[in-house]
Amino acid sequence: MQTDTLVSIDGVIKRFGSFVAVQRMDLDIRKGEFLAIMGSSGCGKTTTLRMLAGLEAPSEGVIRLAGQPINDLPTWARDTPMVWQSLALFPFLNVRENVEFALKMRGVGREERRQRAEQWLERMQIAEFADRNIAQLSGGQRQRVALARSLVVEPQILLLDEPLSALDAALKVRMQSLLKNLQRQTGITFVYVTHSQSEAFSMADRVVIMSRGKIEQIGTPQDIYRAPRTRFVADFLGSSNIFDGTVSRILPDGVELDTPSGRLRQTGGSPEGRPGTGRPATLTVLDTRMRLSRTPPPDGTNVVPVRVVGEEFVGATATVYLETEHGQEIRVQKGHEELADLSIQPGQALFAHWSPEDGHLLTQA
């Protein structure tokens, strides 16, 4: 086990009867990192978190915390507090008492409990609400109480199960900033489960993407965004245009593909996993890397004739939805000024194009 590893998940499988919720998982979680586990409902992310917390026992395999097996440790004996989606605050206790609760269960004396609780309430900027009932707080304030209650015990690791899902968009962004700053300041390892790409990618050092109980890809947000490994990851992120085809020619630094949208080239990147001539292959291109023009671009670029379906504006950017003559949807995302000269209209004929080095070949099916 690496010296910077805090949690080691070795060959862990979780079954519920005949249903396999988590397939064989091998994952090391590093000390002091912010790790996000994401995927659609039922992918196994919450089950993984519950096994870390001791709320579920692995059917096979070993989970180690700081080198020690914890499979048989009860929840209360682990240093793995959890912030729930529902927050699970005690309505019969006030704010300070909620934060003190875990310390009380650990036998910490009254004066020290109060002092440590008030320090964290101050740090979370909710000290003025210390004597209030939980029902009197806003959603964001309750979130801060739940975080303070978990962090007051100064754990090695904090588990978070979709804690921001009930918040409105503006408050969610503020809480994301708070969480990331807290993690950096304390150095505590955060394991954060979410189905939201924006949450995971804005906060995490590394992201684990799961599907049907197995890990599809692990990497930094930048690496996963730019180079999805599987078709599932590319589809799940929704930021890439996907072209299926067959390798027609091997290039010195890439491949050439025959696709329903025409002959396309991909260059650069690692040759590892690059398919041979005659083999099926999938090319992805980020919607931000594609360009649009009224006339075909110069030679050397990939070109696909398209027709405009519609346009969507979000802040300073616009997403243009297009369709090829074979009915494939293509998306191009650009700033408004980059599209101004095109006067985008539904039904308009254009050319979508990109440089061969901007494409990415999936290395797995």
Residue 278: count of CB within 10 angstroms of its CB: 8
CB-CB neighbours of 297 under 10 Å: 15
Report the pLDDT value the prediction gives residue 2, as an integer from 0 to 100: 45
What residue ranges of the chain are covered by domains with CATH 3.40.50.300? 5-226
Q: What angle do CA 251, 252, 253 make, to 5 degrees?
A: 90
Taking the whole predicted model, whether its pTM rises above 0.85 is answered as yes
CATH of segment(s) 5-226: 3.40.50.300
The domain defined by 231-361 folds into OB fold (Dihydrolipoamide Acetyltransferase, E2P) (2.40.50)
The predicted pLDDT at position 365 comes to 63
At residue 62, the pLDDT reads 98
CA–CA distance, 192 with 222 (Å, rounded to integer): 18
Size (the chain), residues: 365
pLDDT attached to residue 3: 59
Q: How far apart are the first and last CA of the chain?
A: 30
The torsion angles phi and psi of 145, rounded to 5 degrees, stand at -65, -45
Domain span(s) for CATH 2.40.50.100 in the chain: 231-361
Q: Exposed, middle or buried, 339 (CB in 10 Å: 0-12/13-18/19+)?
A: middle
At 1 the pLDDT is: 39
- How many whole angstroms separate alpha carbon 144 and alpha carbon 134? 11
Tell me the pLDDT of the chain (365 aa) as tens digits.
345 999 999 999 999 999 999 999 999 999 999 999 999 889 999 999 999 999 999 999 999 999 999 999 998 888 898 888 777 888 899 999 999 998 998 889 999 999 999 999 999 889 999 999 998 988 888 888 989 999 999 899 999 998 888 788 888 888 899 899 999 999 999 999 998 899 999 999 999 999 999 999 999 999 999 999 999 999 999 999 999 999 999 988 899 999 999 999 999 877 777 788 899 999 999 999 999 999 988 777 899 999 999 999 888 899 999 999 999 999 999 998 888 889 899 999 999 999 999 999 997 76
Cβ-Cβ contacts under 8 Å for 207 (sequence gap 6 or more) = 35, 36, 37, 38, 200, 201, 218, 219, 220, 221, 224
